[in-house]
Amino acid sequence: MYIERLLSLSTVLVLGLCPLLAQPTPDVTLGVNVSGTIGAVLSGIDPLGTSGETASVKIVISESLSPTKTTANSATYSLPAGSVTVDLGTATYVTSSPASMRITLPSSGPDVVTLTANLTEANFIVTVVGTIDLRHGSFPSSILTHPAPFTPSPQTLTAATGTTGVGSKIQYTINGEVTILGFSGTAGNKATQTPMLPEDDAVQ
pTM over 0.85: no
> Would the CA dihedral through 162, 100, 97, 196 be positive or negative?
negative
pLDDT value of position 89: 85
> Would the CA dihedral through 149, 93, 80, 195 be positive or negative?
positive
Q: Give the 3-state secondary structure of residue 134.
A: strand
pLDDT value of position 184: 98
- The secondary structure of 63-126, three-state, reads CCCCCCEECCCEEEEEECCCCEEEEECCEEEECCCCEEEEEECCCCCCEEEEEEEEEEECCEEE
Q: Which residues of the chain have pLDDT under 70?
A: 1-26, 194-204
pLDDT value of position 198: 45
Task: Identify the DSSP state of 143.
Answer: G
Longest dimension (CA), the chain: 88
What are the extents of the domains in the chain? 30-192
Convert the pLDDT of each residue in 130-156 to its tens digit. Answer: 999 999 999 999 999 999 999 999 999
Task: Identify the DSSP state of 16.
Answer: H
Amino acid at 19: P
